[in-house]
């Protein structure tokens, strides 16, 4: 009875098997690397797609914002920017420098009364100086206005209607408050009426408004006394003035120094703003 004894593998067969295993491992490593590269490429494609979507969303938002800006224009008064291109007119009573009626149009020109008849009023341009005399005119017949045949010789000032209303309000307020300071009147009215979105000519210079306010109420103030015999004068004993005179004498050196330095007016304004009742001035 014969028994099958397994043959032992030779050395050559073992080397061949080892080489085949190494080749299989190399093939698997190559497949794994290619798979990883494909996954990276897919991830990059996804990232590019998402980034393109994000940029597109940003562009869409910017376009929406631009449309919202164009749909919300700055408010303008109908007198300054007429929608239909037709010139409109507005009469400001007492709007001229001398307190007379002033005609203003939507193109920024102003007119004063030249002549008045039974049925019509003739206006001519308010620019009438020695250097320049504008020939433009307007004829008013009731509520209708007809521009003359001659054009203006100068440019208009958009916003002149707003400026005329501010001047008229300053003038009337100053005449109704004779003892209120002109700068405070001008400041309060400018804060109420000035719109920075309007053209520059709609904002008159504050210095000119202050001078106009003082001039308009100059005759309404009581005359300054020219002697000691004025109404309301009270006899005061000399000894009651000693404290005040002593304080004035102490200020002389400082005032002399400020005069030399050109700073006296500023010091006087500062001290006037801080002045309060001092009981020491009325004691001996």
Residue 140: beta bridge partners?
121, 145
pLDDT digits (tens, 9 = 90+) for 222-265: 777 676 665 666 666 766 777 778 888 887 887 777 677 666 56
Query: Which of 167, 97, 168, 121 minimizes the C-alpha distance to 113?
Result: 121
For helices 206-216 and 182-193, the axis angle rounded to 10 degrees is 130
pLDDT digits (tens, 9 = 90+) for 273-282: 666 555 555 5
Asked if residue 170 is part of any domain, the answer here is yes
Contact between residue 76 and residue 59 where contact means Cβ atoms under 8 Å apart: no
pLDDT digits (tens, 9 = 90+) for 145-163: 888 888 888 888 887 888 8
Residue 263 CA neighbour count, 13 Å, CB half: 7
213 and 243 both lie in a single domain: no
Contact between residue 282 and residue 243 where contact means Cβ atoms under 8 Å apart: yes
143 and 164 both lie in a single domain: no
Which range has the worst mean pLDDT, 56-60, 81-85, 125-129? Answer: 56-60
Asked if residue 15 is part of any domain, the answer here is no
Asked if residue 127 is part of any domain, the answer here is yes
> What's the number of domains the chain is made of?
4
Asked if residue 229 is part of any domain, the answer here is no
Asked if residue 227 is part of any domain, the answer here is no
Name which residue leads in pLDDT, 95 or 79: 95
The confidence score (pLDDT) of residue 220 equals 80
Asked if residue 211 is part of any domain, the answer here is yes
């Amino acid at each position: 009875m014969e028994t099958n004894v397994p043959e032992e593998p030779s050395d050559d067969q073992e080397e061949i098997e080892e080489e085949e295993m190494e080749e299989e491992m190399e093939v698997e490593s190559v497949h794994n690397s290619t798979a990883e590269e494909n996954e990276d490429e897919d991830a990059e494609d996804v990232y590019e797609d998402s980034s393109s979507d994000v940029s597109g969303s940003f562009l869409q938002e910017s376009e929406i914002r631009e449309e919202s800006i164009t749909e919300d224009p700055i408010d303008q008064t109908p007198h300054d920017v007429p929608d239909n291109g037709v010139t409109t007119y507005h009469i400001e009573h007492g709007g001229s420098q001398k307190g007379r009626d002033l005609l203003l149009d939507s193109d920024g020109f102003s007119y004063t009364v030249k002549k008045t008849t039974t049925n019509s009023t003739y206006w001519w341009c308010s620019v009438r100086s020695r250097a320049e005399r504008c020939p433009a005119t307007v004829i008013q017949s009731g509520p209708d206005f007809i521009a003359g045949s001659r054009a203006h010789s100068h440019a208009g000032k958009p916003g002149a209607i707003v400026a005329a209303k501010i001047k008229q309000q300053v003038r009337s307020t100053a005449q109704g408050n004779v003892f209120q300071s002109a700068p405070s009147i001008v400041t309060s009215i400018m804060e109420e009426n000035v719109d920075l979105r309007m053209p520059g000519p709609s904002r008159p210079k504050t210095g000119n408004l202050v001078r106009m306010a003082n001039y308009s109420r100059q005759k309404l103030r009581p005359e300054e006394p020219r002697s000691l015999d004025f109404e309301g004068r009270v006899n005061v004993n000399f000894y009651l003035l000693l404290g005040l005179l002593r304080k004035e004498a102490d200020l002389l050196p400082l005032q002399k120094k400020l005069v030399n330095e050109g700073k006296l007016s500023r010091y006087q304004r500062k001290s006037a703003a801080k002045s309060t009742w001092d009981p020491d001035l009325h004691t001996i």
